[in-house]
Structure 1
Amino acid sequence: MKTVTRSATFALAIVLAGCAAAPSRLATPAAPAYIPPVTAPATLNASAALAAAAATVTNPRVGGAAMLGTRTIADNCAAAPNLRTLSRAIASAETRSTLAAPGPITVFAPTDQAFDRLAVGAVDQLLALTNRPTLQRLVAYHVVPGAITLDQLRARVAASGGAARLTTVEGDPLTVTRDGEAVVLTDVNGNKSFVETPDVQQTNGIVHVVNGVLVPRLG
């Protein structure tokens, strides 16, 4: 190994000192002829951010139909062949505007088979004009403020010690639990409904297709 001599060390110090000379002794780079202005990116609110994310997502199909992330919940429900009874209920209850509003909201959407499991004649009674207030409450009981994914539902269950509580737009709560990997919703009457097709993202929220109709307190 070569030993650095004292004279070599002194020479290196002189070179380094030259690099740290006053700015007036250093070459100054030329200023650019044009400096483009810096524009801050637009801030998206929660609804706009959700819509932007949904527009690029690949959704699961519902009833064999494509669920486009560029459509609202009301429009996608109307396009699903296995959600026709729900779509009729939305129209009869005059709640379409709510499900087409910016949101965000989460909708637990019962399938036609779920409605078929109600008592004979119950659907026709609900759709009758005289029962519109009851139908409006029933539809609102399937809607929760905010966009909640399946993973977030599971996380809430875990954080709550096995049973999470959701406050619906109707006012009555839903209880969320797990049965193995399945997510279970229980209404205030003890009726259970399982999430079948989760995380169908729309411009104004998220739909989870469920296999049971949830019923609030109607007495």
Structure 2
Amino acid sequence: MMAADDTMNTDDTTMDGPKDIVALASETPSLSTLVQALQAADLVGALQGAGPYTVFAPTNEAFAALPAGTLDNLLKPENKQQLADILKYHVVEGNVKSTDLSNGMSAKTLNGADLKVMLDGSSVKINDANVTMPDVEASNGVVHVIDKVMMPPSGR
């Protein structure tokens, strides 16, 4: 992905280390819908903060698998709070790597509800989403790419 000479790229505010969570997602074509949703929910600034945060990042395909019209509806300005709640359900405080996970553990998300971790051999599930790319390092946390948009429990 990165050539050896790319590590010294000092344009903008990037340093010699990994980029923040939003910059990382912005440079990942399969996460462009997530970036669009973060912008619509005004959460970009929060995920560019010091953190650390652990983000379970749904791919574009995961957003596309939502029922027809769901994403378009969530991206409307009047649904900003609902979208923010859904996105915050994909974020946990702290730097949680795949090696920190144990079967049956739960983690409190930024929206207040818990996620459940299930390990089965080498596969990791967060609720009913599969982790397809674990442990993508960012300067302010870690990203785990998942194959499904997780909906927070209703009535919390």
Indicate whether the TM-score tops 0.5.
Answer: yes
Shift of 1:70: 2.8
Structure 1 position 138 matched with structure 2 position 138: no
> Counterparts of 1:185 and 1:174 in 2: how far apart (Å)?
6
1:108 is matched by which residue type in structure 2? F
* Partner SS, residue 79 of structure 2: helix
Q: Is the 8 A contact 1:107 1:208 kept in 2?
A: yes
Q: Cα deviation per residue 1:178-203 (whole Å; 9 max; x = unaligned)?
A: 122101111xxxxx101011111011
Question: Which residue of structure 2 lines up, in the alignment, with residue 94 of structure 1?
Answer: 42
Q: CA–CA distance in 1 between the matches of 2:17 and 2:66? A: 31
Residue 200 of structure 1: aligned partner = 136
Query: Do the aligned partners of 2:18 and 2:137 also contact (CA within 8 Å) in 1?
Result: no
Query: 8 Å contact 1:73–1:203 — kept in the other structure?
Result: yes
Q: Which residue of 1 aligns with 2:115?
A: 174
Which amino acid in 2 is paired with 1:131? N
1:85 to 17, 21, 33: 33
Aligned partner (choices 58, 62, 70) of residue 18 of structure 2:
70
Q: State whether residues 165 and 173 of structure 1, in contact with CA within 8 Å, keep that contact through their aligned partners in structure 2.
A: yes
Of residues 177-186 and 99-108 in structure 1, the stretch that sits farther from structure 2 once superposed is: 177-186
Q: Which runs of 5+ in 1 are unaligned?
A: 1-67, 187-191
- The answer to which structure has the higher strand fraction is 2
Per the alignment, in what secondary structure is the counterpart of residue 30 of structure 2?
Answer: coil
Q: Which residue of 2 aligns with 1:114?
A: 62
Higher Cα Rg: structure 1 or 2? Answer: 1
State the alpha-carbon separation in 1 of the partners of residues 17 and 43 from structure 2: 21
Indicate if the aligned counterparts of 1:134 and 1:218 stay in contact, CA closer than 8 A: no
| Ranges of 4+ aligned residues in structure 1 off by more than 2 Å | none
| Runs of 5+ consecutive residues of structure 2 not aligned to the other structure | 1-15
Show the counterpart of 1:184: 125
Q: State TM-score, norm by structure 2.
A: 0.86
Question: Equivalent pairs: percent with the same residue?
Answer: 36
1:23-42 correspondence runs (5 A): none
Q: How many residues align?
A: 140
The equivalent of 1:37 in structure 2 is: none
Deviation, 1:174, is: 0.3
Work out which structure has the larger RCO, using CA pairs closer than 8 Å and 6 or more positions apart in sequence. 2
Q: Tell me the secondary structure at the aligned position of residue 33 of structure 2.
A: helix
For the residue of structure 2 that corresponds to 1:134, the secondary structure is: helix
1:127 corresponds to: 75
Tell me how far 1:138 sits from its aligned partner.
0.6
Q: For 2:79 and 2:27, locate their aligned partners in 1 and report how far apart those are by CA, in whole Å.
A: 25
